[in-house]
Amino acid sequence: MAEQESVDSEVGKEHVLAHLLSADDSRPRDEPEIASNIGTQLQHMALSTWSISILRRLRDAFGRLKPQSILEVGAGIGHRSAWIYDLFEKDGATPERYQLVEDGAKFAVIIRRLMLRHDAESYTKIVVGNLDALIAETNAWHAASSTGVEVGTPPLENQHDAIIVDGTSENRARSCSIVAAFPFTKWSSVYC
């Protein structure tokens, strides 16, 4: 582990992205069992997902970064989330916050089952709703709370180490623009 940290700290700025997205040979190439089962469900529902190669790279990047706060927009039925939960389980470390946003309540029920299966209730928050509306509600909550009277919590938390945005191409581009303009990230790490 110390050897890997030494290698990571020696990567120059011009090579960070290539290093971050490179394969981690210490991790399995096989799809996690739960993710594979969800992948089968996706096929039956005629839904698409990211390729196994991209999901591996995302997992490997998160394994290197060890983000403590993740926002996943467009969580679907949890195929990508299953890869992320598997990483937490295999590494024996969980983030402080993992927020999953999904437009459809019927998919949120499936994501909830996935969260419960991984005993992740303590750090996972599932939010159902349209991203535009959720951001507007969050902005309104912050404005109202600026008076010092905070009631409840905002729909979307901010200051994430990593953000994943998924959806159709046109929606993904728009959502990335919205997320980039909102103070969601500690760094500029948005995966679209």
In a domain, 150, yes or no: yes
Asked if residue 131 belongs to a domain, the reply is yes
- Give the pLDDT confidence of 55-96 residue by residue, as tens digits: 999 999 999 999 999 999 999 999 999 999 999 999 999 999
Residue 6 forms part of a structural domain: no
CATH code, domain carrying 69: 3.40.50.150
- CA distances (Å), origin 149, targets 141, 146, 155: 10, 7, 16
Q: Does 3 map to a domain? A: no
Domains identified in the chain, total number: 1
Is 107 contained in some domain? yes
Examine residue 77 and state whether it is found in any structural domain, yes or no.
yes
On whether residue 4 sits in a domain, the answer given is no
Strand partners, 109: none
3-state SS string for 30-50: CCCHHHHHHHHHHHHCCCCCC
Q: Determine the Cα angle at 127 with ends 124 and 132, to 5°.
A: 135
More confidently predicted of 1 and 23: 23
Q: Which residues constitute the domain of residue 42?
A: 32-191
Asked, for residue 26, whether it belongs to a domain, the answer is: no
Q: What is the mean pLDDT of residues 5-28?
A: 74
